[in-house]
Structure 1
Amino acid sequence: MQFPKAVCLRVDPDVMFPSAKDTKGIALAKATCAFCPHNDECMEAALATPAGRDEGVRAGTTQDERRKIRRRRAAATRKGQQALAA
């Protein structure tokens, strides 16, 4: 999914794909996302992308951060389903 006013579309694509150990690169990519009007939509699109295919910084989060968000959401969903079943 593309967002025509996305800030990341106006920077070198390499900026948005720093290595996991490149803390300065990650900070730059996250700063790029900070000014984007599409953060909410981008986050939902990033979370809908299968893990392992969602490289780079998206919506101001790294692949590892999005993995943690997915886990938290899945746990909350399971907890909610258990509460409904009780």
Structure 2
Amino acid sequence: MNLIPRHAPDAADPRDDWRHHGGCLEPARVDPEVMFPGRYDPPAIRRAKTICLECPVKAVCLRSAMDEEGGSRPQSRSGVRGGLTEHERSALARRLGQGRALGKRAAA
């Protein structure tokens, strides 16, 4: 089961790229550094996640982060993307990977 939806932007219109619609890109509201809180700074993490809660492209952002981070080590992941920290995305990737492996074993 695919829990993270994909987005197919209109290739003819570069403004349709989901990245142009992120809540974190609103310059009047968000300093880009806000989306990269320290690992041990819960208030800063909550602030970044709050921005993601209202974001119209949250699910697509999460999908993009998961695709980009694919097999990368947790150290190469950074920031809050799609409402999840790098550690939460790493845990989600492990769960999704385990689910696929279990499904293949059951089908065999």
- Same fold per superposition (TM over 0.5): yes
Equivalent residues in 2 for 1:1-86, closer than 5 Å: 3-10=19-26, 11-50=30-69, 51=72, 52-85=75-108
What's the offset of the Cα at 1:55?
Answer: 0.4
- Paired AA for residue 15 in structure 1: V
Extract unaligned runs of 5+ from structure 1: none
* Structure 2 Cα separation of the partners of residues 40 and 57 of structure 1: 13
| RMSD over aligned Cα atoms | 1.4
* Structure 1 Cα separation of the partners of residues 68 and 21 of structure 2: 20
* Structure 2 Cα separation of the partners of residues 59 and 65 of structure 1: 11
Aligned residue-pair number: 85
What's the offset of the Cα at 1:29?
Answer: 0.1
Extract unaligned runs of 5+ from structure 2: 1-16
Compute the TM-score of the two structures, normalised by the length of structure 1.
0.91
Instruction: For residues 26-65 of structure 1, give each alpha carbon's deviation from its aligned partner in whole angstroms, at most 9, with x where no partner exists.
Output: 0000000000000110110111122343300011100000
